[in-house]
Amino acid sequence: MDPLEASDNSRDCDLIFVVEDDLDVSRLVEHNLKTAGYEVATFLTGASVLSSALVTHPALILLDIMLPGINGFDLCRQIRQTEQLATIPVIFFSARTQEPDRVHAFEVGGDGFITKPFSPRELIVRVRNVLRSRVDAFAHEVIQIGDLEIDVNSMTVRVEGRTVLTTVREFRLLEYLARHRGRVFTRDQLLGAVWKESSFVTPRSIDVFVRRLREKIEKDARHPNYLKTMRGVGYRFEAPR
């Protein structure tokens, strides 16, 4: 039976989009996700993913990079630019293993990266961890620091009252740093705290997430007030004076 002894009942109603042009891989992924208790919609191209997501609003999208027509990177970028879909987690899965591909996956807004071939167990663990990160954020709390407001209940970030869109992983990283403001974290410490499973994220990827957050919350990303770089060590969140 597996994967991970089948269903996690708290996830039974979650709908997952699988965007994969290899029919055999698509069927295998669909089978294992359904065995684990998820609902699944499959797409062999990215052509109708956006329109379908606007109607059904999936809990997560599993996205191949190499697709006919629009590729996975461009599709993810479109998802992040669509307000109604911008916070949906996206996990890339691909046979492309070079670090630039992984880094680019995070630059366009991906929340995870799985390298093909992968085991059913690995797939389900990654999916559950990303979805759990989203669910865990729903506690009734607002973190207010300067002009920055982090609404943990709605997973919303506001700067000077203006809402900025973040991915699940960006939100979790920002929330973690804000909760521990003043403390310096190495990249490895952030991997362990925010990602738990770190095999698909490298220290360089952490830099990408911090850069993306700076572009969204800082008045001047080159001279940040909140997300400070501690050269040779890592990052620290500071409350502006």
Q: How distant is the alpha carbon of residue 164 from its chain centre?
A: 16
Local confidence pLDDT in tens for the 241 residues of the chain: 455 544 444 444 589 999 999 999 999 999 999 999 999 999 999 999 999 999 999 999 999 999 999 999 999 999 999 988 988 999 999 888 788 888 899 889 998 899 888 898 889 998 988 888 766 555 557 899 999 999 987 788 999 999 998 988 899 899 999 999 999 999 988 988 887 655 566 777 889 999 999 999 999 999 999 999 999 899 999 987 7
Question: How far from each other are the two terminal CA atoms of the chain, in whole angstroms?
Answer: 56
pLDDT of residue 150: 93
pLDDT of residue 9: 44
**How far is Cα 140 from Cα 152, in angstroms, rounded to an integer?**
6
- Summarize pLDDT for 78-113 with one digit per residue, the tens: 999 998 898 899 999 988 878 888 889 988 999 889
Distances, alpha carbon 128 to alpha carbons 124, 135, 158, 201, 202, in Å: 6, 10, 27, 17, 20
Structural tokens at position 13: 């109603």
**How far is Cα 84 from Cα 78, in angstroms, rounded to an integer?**
11
pLDDT of residue 140: 56
Domains of the chain: 9-136 (3.40.50.2300), 142-237 (1.10.10.10)
* Residue closest to 167 by CA, chosen among 54, 74, 91: 91
pLDDT of residue 135: 60
pLDDT of residue 142: 87
pLDDT of residue 197: 57
CB atoms within 10 A of CB 138: 11
Q: Where are the beta strands (DSSP E) in 27-99?
A: 39-43, 60-64, 90-94
pLDDT of residue 220: 94
Instruction: Give the β-pairing of 15-19 and 39-43.
Output: parallel
pLDDT of residue 199: 54
55 half-sphere exposure, CB direction, 13 A CA radius = 6
**How far is Cα 48 from Cα 157, in angstroms, rounded to an integer?**
29
State pTM to two decimals: 0.67
Q: Where are the beta strands (DSSP E) in the chain?
A: 15-19, 39-43, 60-64, 90-94, 112-115, 142-145, 148-151, 156-159, 162-164, 184-186, 227-230, 234-237
CB atoms within 10 A of CB 51: 8
